[in-house]
Amino acid sequence: MNEWFLRTFSSENWSWKIGNGNSIMFWRDVWTASQSLKVSYRRLFSLSHFQDAKLHEMVLLLNDESSLQSELWRRQLRGWEIESLNELTMITKNLRFKEGYDEVTWIPGKGSYTVKKGYQLISNCSYVTTESWLKLWKIKIPRRIKLFYWKVSHNILPTNSLIYNRLRKGNGNCVWCNNAMEDHSHILWSCHYAKLFWKEVEVWWNISVDKVLPNHNMLFNLLNIISDHKCKSAWDISVASVLWSLWLARNEYVFRHRVVDFRSEIMLSKVRSYEWSIKSKVISHNSYRLWA
Ligand SMILES: [Zn+2]
């Protein structure tokens, strides 16, 4: 298979030339054969947790032998679904990425390229680069938390605002304050309930989180607060644990009508990050002081 992997579209006048696989949507774009994988592998697409994954991300996931099936799919695959998956994995196995962006190429003689059309295409791309996503993926946390991180970084966490925008259900407001749209940045960062958590984290880590802005880069801003290499891995794990706790607390309230005490939740969050750090050998048993 060519390193430069060019396929034409049946219904459009352009094709993708694969670069770093960072702009092409694995399921939704037409980058192999004449239709999207969402159409050719309809069942697998409907079962995928990663429907909005970029080409490079999905290829890594499919070929990563440590990926657990339960983390990739909404339920266990059976019979012909497994055969479809094998076929799909074969397609991706020989793909070679190269440095530089994926490019849109207008097919000569099939209408003219306009900047507007090109822009529309590019602007559908997510703001998360494969590089930044790969950094997230390498953080030593359990896979289900990686899946959670993936949703946060791609802005597809099932918050009230997402559900309202996609399905017109509810009013999209925050479950805690009912005073703002509940997107991931609000529920995990700027809501007063989340702020209580982050105040505790400031004391715990002896840092200030003031500079983190409530926008789509919130997660990456948070992770960048500590760049010191020695503590960096432990910090990345702790951030994951705190964000996960905030999300669990929100879900407890939504699905079980139970308000969890934030102090016990922050304790749990510390315990969890300590366990993950020990398990991944980011810290040793006797460096528990940070967690005391
Ligand atoms: Zn709120």
Q: Would you state the pLDDT for residue 12?
A: 47
CA of residue 81 to ligand 1 center, whole Å: 41
Q: 234 CA to middle of ligand 1, Å?
A: 28
Measured in angstroms, how far is the CA atom of residue 256 from the centroid of ligand 1? 18
**Residue 174 CB coordination number (10 Å):** 22
> In angstroms, what is the span from residue 72 Cα to ligand 1's centroid?
31
Instruction: Quick: pLDDT tens for 234-243.
Output: 899 999 999 9
CA of 191 to the centre of ligand 1 (A): 4
Q: What is the pLDDT of residues 107-147, one digit of tens each?
A: 555 444 444 444 444 333 345 666 677 777 788 888 788 88
Identify any residues that bridge with 104 across adjacent strands, giving them in sequence order. 16
**Ligand 1 center from residue 79 Cα (angstroms):** 45
List residues, by chain if needed, whose CB lies under 5 Å from ion ligand 1: 174, 176-177, 191
Residue 188 Cα, ligand 1 centroid: separation in angstroms? Answer: 9
Q: What is the pLDDT of residues 141-191, one digit of tens each?
A: 887 888 888 888 877 788 999 888 878 888 999 999 999 999 999 999 999
pLDDT at position 242 = 94
Ligand 1: centre distance to CA 152 (Å): 17
pTM score over 0.95: no
Write down the pLDDT at residue 192.
Answer: 92
71-82 pLDDT per residue, tens? 788 888 888 888
Distance from Cα 239 to the centre of ligand 1, integer Å: 19
CA of 147 to the centre of ligand 1 (A): 23
Residue 91: both structure tokens together? 């397609």
- Expressed in angstroms and rounded, the spacing between residue 171 Cα and the centre of ligand 1 is 13
Q: How far is the CA of 172 from the centre of ligand 1 (A)?
A: 11
Find, among 194, 196, 198, the residue nearest to 211 by Cα. Answer: 198
Q: How far is the CA of 177 from the centre of ligand 1 (A)?
A: 4
Ligand 1 centroid – CA 169 distance (Å): 18
Kindly compute the dihedral angle of the four CA atoms of residues 79, 50, 66, 100, in this order, to the nearest 10 degrees: 130
Q: What is the pLDDT of residue 282?
A: 77
**Confidence at residue 94, expressed as pLDDT on a 0 to 100 scale:** 73
Average predicted confidence (pLDDT) for the chain:
79
What phi and psi values does residue 133 have, to the nearest 5 degrees?
A: -65, -40
